[in-house]
Structure 1
């Protein structure tokens, strides 16, 4: 049982995970972590890095809105509460070392790999798996390999796939209301007291978001392709989400 979501300032400075976009610290409650969003932007699996003031705060706010929306629609997540502009408290989960990528529209590596026209809508969503390993450049992994390596069980993968498809439906509907097409996105999951719950974040860092009218990118592709600052695009996504009735950003 979580202890009052921690007494506000009662957390430790024990860094347990240092990522490209977030750092994670253990708190004085063994079941609660402090997640800190960084201003660092990366491309080419971390080979290109740049500090972008304000990015961490924007991603924290966007992810908060999305996770709250998903929670209100029946999806269990690790999110507990916000602590500052860039900090959140989250449930400590046993993270599954797989990145789950859901594609609605052909873009990015999918377009390059199969020599397809970017922007073509897929007949049905495509789900891909990548093994989380910076050292190995996050290689593609299939279900047989996942089971052989005991990352998840067959029952767990069924549950995760079911959740991803529901999440996709919810987010496609949400972004459609604010004139944004949800092209693709990456999700991570963890185990928490026997349940599989959504973890990590949802932001323009790990999703492709295109303006429905202009088809302009509103995500990290702007940084990847060196097309200018990502801040105006991230601010646009946040501002549109804030105007959508019924959504909250605490």
Structure 2
């Protein structure tokens, strides 16, 4: 397969079908725009399996995604989308940048999900946007933003309820979207790399914050999360 693109967490390969590409998840973990990085054997396989489980769950609940099927332990087949240059973050609890920037205590539950959008740029450190800026700069239209927000909130409803049944709080998460033919699809991945996941009783993290802030073994957290959502 010919390599099309390589990012921090995965490689993207062309296939014989121009409408399909292969995601190969890597074992590397990065934080702080790549300043901190380390390889964890088996991480890629767990991320591929988690993406398969959660994308399949979302499809069954009416969310259109680019996911087709898992091909191997660390590879998934997906529809080849033209990616939108923004990412949508949904926040149910205070954590990360919103807590830091606004001086909030970590773990405050918001009265409703907060939606933020950011321009995808490692060089600029993913600056925050608002609707007017995103549209004025030509990244999306107002109609497309409505689709993104509707899909993001649907994802939040489905995953929040599913994970709570497993004893997990979905504190926040990041989504990326792409255009495929005449549709806007949920794309990229859904893994602990892009979510904050806390144990309902202890608030212990299962996500990449374990690596970011040295809160525990990364693989142990991902493995426990995978076990919980697999049963």
The separation in 2 between residues aligned to 1:111 and 1:65, in whole angstroms, is 30
How much does 1:152 deviate?
A: 1.1
The separation in 1 between residues aligned to 2:29 and 2:101, in whole angstroms, is 24
How much does 1:41 deviate?
A: 0.2
Q: 1:84 — aligned with what?
A: 72
Q: 2:177 — aligned with what?
A: 189
Out of 202, 206, 228, the position equivalent to 1:214 is 202
Map 1:226-245 → 2, pairs under 5 A: 226-243=214-231
Map 1:149-164 → 2, pairs under 5 A: 149-164=137-152
Q: 2:26 — aligned with what?
A: 38
Unaligned runs of 5+ in 2: none
How much does 1:62 deviate?
A: 0.8
The separation in 1 between residues aligned to 2:197 and 2:215, in whole angstroms, is 15
Map 1:64-213 → 2, pairs under 5 A: 64-213=52-201
Give secondary structure in 2 for the equivalent of 1:112: helix
How much does 1:154 deviate?
A: 0.9
- State TM-score, norm by structure 1: 0.91
- State TM-score, norm by structure 2: 0.98
Is 1:24 aligned with 2:22? no
The separation in 1 between residues aligned to 2:123 and 2:11, in whole angstroms, is 18
**Which of the pair has more CA radius of gyration?**
1
Larger fraction in strand: 2
Give secondary structure in 1 for the equivalent of 2:206: coil
How much does 1:180 deviate?
A: 0.3
Unaligned runs of 5+ in 1: 1-12, 244-250
Give secondary structure in 1 for the equivalent of 2:197: strand
How much does 1:48 deviate?
A: 1.1
Give secondary structure in 2 for the equivalent of 1:29: coil
Q: How many residues align?
A: 231
RMSD value over aligned CA atoms? 0.8
How much does 1:228 deviate?
A: 3.0
How much does 1:38 deviate?
A: 0.3
Structure 1 outlier segments of 4+, above 2 Å: none
The separation in 2 between residues aligned to 1:228 and 1:118, in whole angstroms, is 18
How much does 1:98 deviate?
A: 0.7
Q: Deviations over 1:207-230 (max 9, x none)?
A: 000000111011000000022321
How much does 1:25 deviate?
A: 1.0
